């Protein structure tokens, strides 16, 4: 059964080629929103908290601060509405899932920038 599901996912689900990013990176995700007959592009810029899953069911969570309220959004990697992903900063963190980031405020909520070689 699992082989059949994998075959269908490989054949029929289109995969997009996005840059590699990990937890701690600050990225901007551009996605399409349909409102009635109109479509527009909206972006969501924030810190990647986690990447989860593999293959076609992979998702990533982004967190940003909107005023004093933290907003998180989960995006599937193969979402048809995703247009592009830009990496703004590479973050240096020691964990793959930085849920502790939710409890940090002010200067403690900064992530050191990783050098790109």
Domain ranges in the chain are: 2-104
Check: pTM over 0.95? Answer yes or no: no
Q: Are 52 and 58 in contact (CB under 8 A)?
A: yes
Mean pLDDT of 32-60: 92
**Local confidence band at 117 (pLDDT 50, 70, 90 cut-offs):** low
CATH 3.50.50.60, domain 2-104, yes or no:
no
**Local confidence band at 106 (pLDDT 50, 70, 90 cut-offs):** confident
What is residue 27's predicted lDDT score, i.e. its pLDDT?
96
Which residue's structure tokens are 């900064």? 110
Cα dihedral 41, 45, 47, 51 in deg (nearest 10): 0
Q: What percent of the chain has pLDDT over 90?
A: 65
């Amino acid at each position: 059964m699992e082989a059949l599901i994998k075959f269908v996912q490989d054949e029929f689900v289109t995969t997009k080629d996005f840059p590699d990013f990990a937890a701690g990176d600050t990225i901007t995700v551009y996605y399409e929103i349909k409102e009635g007959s109109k479509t527009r592009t909206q972006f969501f810029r924030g810190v990647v908290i986690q990447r989860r899953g593999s293959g076609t069911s992979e998702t990533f969570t982004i967190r940003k601060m909107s005023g004093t309220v933290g907003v998180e959004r989960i995006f599937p990697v193969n979402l048809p509405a995703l247009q592009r992903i830009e990496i703004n900063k590479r973050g240096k963190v020691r964990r793959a899932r930085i849920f502790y980031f939710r409890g940090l405020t002010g200067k403690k909520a900064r992530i050191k920038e990783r050098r790109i070689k």
